[in-house]
Structure 1
Amino acid sequence: MSRSYETLVFDTPRPHVARITLNRPAQMNAYTFAMTQELLAAIAAYRDDDDLRALVITGAGERAFCTGGDISGADPDHARKVGASPMGHGREMRDGMQAVVLALRRLDKPSVAMIRGFAVAGGLALALACDLRIAAVSARLGDTSNKVGLLPDEGGAWLFPRAMGLDRALKMTLLHEIYPAGVARDLGLVTEVVEDAALEPHTLDLCEQLAAKAPLAVRLTKMMMAKAMESSLEASLADAQMAVMIANPSRDVREGVEAFRQKRPPKFEGR
């Protein structure tokens, strides 16, 4: 299955696995407002299709995952429209990459960033909005927004400290540092680092494994853990009580238990 976009490619490289590829390689996959609107549509297509159970987000070409917002002046008409209102820049950010970050964080299905080349500024925020980040050894990650007087406004001010701690996030942003993939992993920005040639097959294998799990359990687990990050133990336990009333009576649990007893792989349907 594929869908048609101007700045993205949406395909399904494995069963039940969707892939969104930022497709502006000549611009190192820097995003425009138009790209953010297509990203929102593609994420919604994944969200609403029950046959799709895992999502990969990546960038076209070898140079970059995403280098943040496009500041090259490639769309002067849009820039004039934004600049015409005192609230223009805020609305552009709210309805653009901030909306994309929120859409990813609100997903109840897993998302994986597959990172080759640079993931900096808003590109790093996009990667951190995903649940997992698999990076090639040659990848480089960091925040360069302050370098040109811009801000970590796509969500970085919230995402960066939660991934690496406030002091390290401040150092990275204020000194606009970019780290090799291994260092980024040690700092908490990356989940796993693999050899460049192994990046795509390893990431797709991981997503295929995620897609084979019980969909209800995956969705509820993700929702519980994400909410627990911002709540008390008591509130988290109460959420768990509600979730088990959905999961435990499901067909998937019956299938999982039966498969365990019969010593065979389970076949989950998400019911």
Structure 2
Amino acid sequence: MPYSEIERQRDDSGVVTITMNRPQKLNAYTTKMCEELSEAVDEFARTDADRVLVLTGAGRGFCSGGDLSGHFEALKATTRRLGHAAVMREGMHPLSRRLFALDKPTIAMVNGPAIAGGLALALLCDLRIAADTAILGDTSGAAGALPDEGGAWLFPRAMGYDHAFRMVALGEKYDAATAHRLGLVTEVVPAAELREHTMTLARDLASRAAVTVRIAKRIMRRGLESTFEASLGDAEMAVVMNNDTEDAQEGVKAFLEHRRPRFEGA
């Protein structure tokens, strides 16, 4: 589909880059942007040749949260009950569910402010590579709003309950180094090196055994919400699916022959 608020690019290695493209608003999301992002994520999910997703923003920002311009006027004009909830159910929440459900690796390339819902989008990715100039946090509480885009679940798991509560209640924002120390960021690199560093990492991930990476992500995600015994059971079933794949056999063969494996995604 043609996009107006995002851009989608794919390179020959199977890395798909989705760019939120409202730079004049620091890529604040709208319902339309969420719909376009959801469609782009769905396309990535169903295309086997697409191996790794990189999510980023155009211009100076990653995503500054929801675009509130005209928001309350639109809610006043509707006759629907629970209008605020409907906006979330039809916009950001379906996108959050899609990103969370992906079993392919995802990387947030945080090039600028990632605030509130923007921070939630970054945390929905497996890895977050931030420019040293990036700012991350949640200002919802300072504006009398809530971390309703998924942050209430994501923030405590990333940084611990106490830090998450303080960030939301006081509306705090952090520089990249502090965000890294708190667990919101995987890695911080100089802004001038952000794209090259992130794409090198993404292409490295794309070169790995695709089925193995996807199964590993699934069982690790499930493990966060299950017992140790249940995780061991998942691992037993996972090896049945994984170890007979051509890539798994190639990996063992390459190890025994002391060479780099040539994975084909099979």
Q: Which residue matches 2:70?
A: 73
- 3-state SS of 1:113 partner: strand
Contact map agreement 1:4 1:10 (CA 8 A) in 2: no
For residue 184 of structure 1, give the secondary structure of its aligned residue in structure 2.
Answer: helix
Query: Which residue in 1 is equivalent to 2:214?
Result: 219
Amino acid at match of 1:223: R
CA shift, 1:88, in A, is 2.2
Aligned residue type for 1:243 = A
1:12-161 → structure 2 map (5 Å cutoff): 12-13=10-11, 15-62=13-60, 64-73=61-70, 79=75, 83-161=78-156
Q: CA deviation at 1:10?
A: 0.3
- Kept after mapping to 1: 8 A contact 2:136/2:174: yes
Distance 1:114 1:17, change over 3 A: same
Unmatched tracts of structure 1, length 5 or more: none
When normalised by structure 1's length, the TM-score is: 0.95
2:165 to 164, 170, 189: 170
CA contact (8 A) 2:57 2:111 kept: yes
- How far is the alpha carbon of 1:156 from its aligned partner? 0.4
RMSD of the alignment, in Å?
1.4
Q: Is the 8 A contact 2:14 2:52 kept in 1?
A: yes
Query: What is residue 258 of structure 1 aligned with on the other side?
Result: 253
Query: What runs of 5+ residues in structure 2 fail to find an aligned partner?
Result: none
Query: Per-residue displacement from partner, 1:181-231 (whole Å, max 9, x unpaired)?
Result: 000000000000000011000000000010011011100000000000000
2:5 is aligned with 1:10: no
Instruction: In structure 1, give the amino acid aligned to 2:132.
Output: V
- In 2, are the aligned partners of 1:14 and 1:204 still within 8 Å (CA)? no
Q: Determine the C-alpha separation between the residues in 2 that align with 1:152 and 1:102.
A: 15
Stretches (4+) displaced over 3 A: 78-81
Q: Measure how far apart 1:147 and its partner are.
A: 1.9
Amino acid at match of 1:70: D
Q: Percent sequence identity over matched residues? A: 50
